Amino acid sequence: MLICFLYHSIKWSGGGSVNVKFSDISFSIGVNLGVDGSGKPKIKAGKCSCDSGPVKVKFRGGLAWIYNLFSGKVGKIIASQFQSKMCGIIQDLIDKNAQESLSTIKVEVQLGEFLTLDYRLLAAPTVTSEYIEADLKGEIFWKSDKSEAPFTPPAMATITDNKKMVYITLSEYIFNTMTYQAHKHNILVFNLTSQNIKSKDDALNTTCTDICIGKLIPQIGKSFPNSKVELHMKSSKPPVTSITDGNLGVAAQGDIDLYARKPDKTLHHLFQIAGTGSIAVKLTINETVIHGSVEDMKIKLNVSKSSIGPVNEKALQFLVDSAIKTTITPMLNDLGTKGFPMPSTDNLKLNQFDFKLLQNTMLIETNLKYIPEPTKIKSTMCGIVQNLIDNNAQKSLSTMKVQVKLGKVLTLDYRLMSAPKATPQYMEASLKGEILWTSDKTEAPFAPQSMAPITDSKKMVYITLSDYVFNTMFYQAHKHNMLVFNLTSKNKASIKVNLSIANEMIHGKLYDTKIQTKVTNSAIGTINDRALQFLVDSAIITTIEPMINGLGTTGFPMPSTNDLQFQQSGIKLLSNTILIETDLKYAPKSTVLKFVPMNERYLAIEI
């Protein structure tokens, strides 16, 4: 670093990195859970306590050799502030970040075009020392009609395991409310036609060379030749889902009306079938969605009304095998592939999950994986570093004096002339470096000489002082009649000075003073040289030297801050220049590193 008065520079290398290592961190905090008006969970931090071990700070690269001088102090300050502020950070993480994450939980999910799954919280979660339990609605409604189903959920199986982080139980009630709403609003209706079968050997033909409905039921083939049979299916009761140990089944009832569509597009009723069916479902889980597929399907049909006379059972079984099963099964599997979504948040994902089928209950056992947003973590760390610079470093720099009183009437002005120049190798700052009369800031009528260049780089800081600084002092002293004796060209003085530096002050002491005098005008006649020398030695030197040495003892102040001390300093005298070479020691007189309250800092601090 190189500081110059007027044409001085400060060289201070930049770049590098810092490692901060915390140890033995522990904290405890209470959490209050609730539910808002929309059924989403609420969370608020309670009482908190925190403790930590020592904090080690290590700077690397660039000016690490400077910064590591005060790494111990920084570590102690961070540890102290960390303990006092950590609870505030944790509480803020819960009150803001955790609450923000919980607010992303969906309490309603659209199922297709008409249905909505509602799993809002019914009450605040129950918290014990072993677990947290939350009761969710778990009902499917018609999107435009929130009327509840006319039946209640059965008691679910008790959870006895505790190996996983989370256990989610789904009642068969959920699935039964879905089929209830579908039946109530007449969406369990399907017309099975030849277009659904898409086969050359169409089983719904009335005329064929192989096997078709027209051959198995001859009266259809005779009455409606070269026609197509259609099955118009509709539920007669809501399907019922039953879950038992290891099994999930669906029982359904419906009516099937068979029509013949002639080539002229007219429909003719044939007969009506009352059907009952049972479906065994196989379940799988992928990420946060439950998927299902048809494992087995059994359908029983009975003719309830006929316009064509008796219909044999072989024809009905043919309809089941060749038309209904081959069409309905892929449709149900397609719905199962889309799946049933599980509750989750943007940052929490199910991990290592499994499921079991118990009495009236589907049990999902899973761990959770937290996936934080990297940008928020980065912004949090940057916020801490920016806070240290904007508040702590700035506070320290603000203590640097830019004007210093020298005696009663003189002022040393070393304010910055412009913004410091920073490069990867050094930082350089040019300071004013002029002494002014305190009540008259008129500058000296002469300019500073060019200073000697600095070629060394072994020290942390190099400060150069131009002889201009001292000449402005003498100029102001002479201008304002402080120098009550005159040295003329005929009265010459030679003074040698020893310089030293201590406590950020330059001190000086005369060690060889020579004054040559010559009488230019006398009212008493001739005066010999010996008498004049006696006057110099016994009066002038003995008076002037202590006065000047007194000023040298008081010293000449160097630019510094309250927390930086010069160390291993040296002085060199170059052309027009005093060069001070020094290292720095960081010695804080007070705690200047502190954490700004979270509400002033940002946030999102997100873990």
For the chain, the C-alpha Rg in angstroms (whole number) is 47
Q: Each residue of 151-205: pLDDT tens digit?
A: 999 999 988 888 899 998 989 999 999 999 999 999 999 999 988 876 666 889 9
Local confidence band at 237 (pLDDT 50, 70, 90 cut-offs): very high
Q: Which two tokens stand for residue 538?
A: 């016994």
For a pLDDT cut of 90, what percent of the chain falls above it? 24
Residue type, 518: K
Are 93 and 66 a contacting pair, CB within 8 Å?
A: no
Domains of the chain with CATH codes: 164-370 (3.15.20.10), 400-586 (3.15.20.10)
- Who's near 87: CB < 8 A, 6+ residues apart? 27, 29, 48, 49, 50
Local confidence band at 605 (pLDDT 50, 70, 90 cut-offs): very low
Local confidence band at 80 (pLDDT 50, 70, 90 cut-offs): confident
pLDDT of residue 603: 30
Cα dihedral 62/65/66/69 (nearest 10):
150
For 41-102, give the secondary structure using H, E and C: EEEEEEEEEEECCCCEEEEECCCHHHHHHHHHHHHHHHHHHHHHHHHHHHHHHHHHHHHHHH
State yes or no: pLDDT of 433 exceeds 90. no
Round to whole Å and give the CA distance between 100 and 96. Answer: 6
Local confidence band at 275 (pLDDT 50, 70, 90 cut-offs): very high
pLDDT of residue 243: 95
Round to whole Å and give the CA distance between 515 and 493. Answer: 4
Closest CA to 115 of 170, 171, 40, 188: 188
pLDDT of residue 94: 86
Local confidence band at 484 (pLDDT 50, 70, 90 cut-offs): low
Q: What's the whole-number mean pLDDT along residues 504-517?
A: 73
Distances (CA, A) of 80 to 129, 564, 594: 31, 21, 9
Q: Each residue of 401-412: pLDDT tens digit?
A: 778 887 788 888
Q: What's the whole-number mean pLDDT along residues 435-451?
A: 86
Round to whole Å and give the CA distance between 304 and 122. Answer: 45
The overall average pLDDT reported for the chain is 79
Please enumerate, as own/partner, the contacts of 33-39 that have beta carbons within 8 Å and a separation of 24 or more: 33/124, 33/125, 33/127, 33/132, 34/124, 35/121, 35/123, 35/124, 35/125, 38/107, 38/120, 39/107, 39/120, 39/121, 39/122, 39/137
Round to whole Å and give the CA distance between 591 and 207. Answer: 98
Are 143 and 114 a contacting pair, CB within 8 Å?
A: yes
pLDDT of residue 200: 60
State yes or no: pLDDT of 255 exceeds 90. yes
State yes or no: pLDDT of 329 exceeds 80. yes
Residue of higher predicted confidence among 484 and 88: 88
pTM comes to: 0.55
Residue of higher predicted confidence among 97 and 263: 263
Q: What's the whole-number mean pLDDT along residues 478-502?
A: 62
> Which of 152-161, 386-395, 461-470, 528-537 shows the highest mean pLDDT?
152-161
Local confidence band at 587 (pLDDT 50, 70, 90 cut-offs): low
- The backbone torsions φ and ψ at residue 137, rounded to the nearest 5 degrees and listed phi first, read -60, -60
State yes or no: pLDDT of 604 exceeds 60. no
- Residue ranges in 162-274 assigned as alpha helix (H): 172-184, 194-197, 213-216, 218-223
pLDDT of residue 495: 59
State yes or no: pLDDT of 462 exceeds 50. yes
Round to whole Å and give the CA distance between 123 and 118. Answer: 14
For a pLDDT cut of 70, what percent of the chain falls above it? 80
Local confidence band at 357 (pLDDT 50, 70, 90 cut-offs): very high
Round to whole Å and give the CA distance between 522 and 462. Answer: 52
Residue of higher predicted confidence among 576 and 259: 259
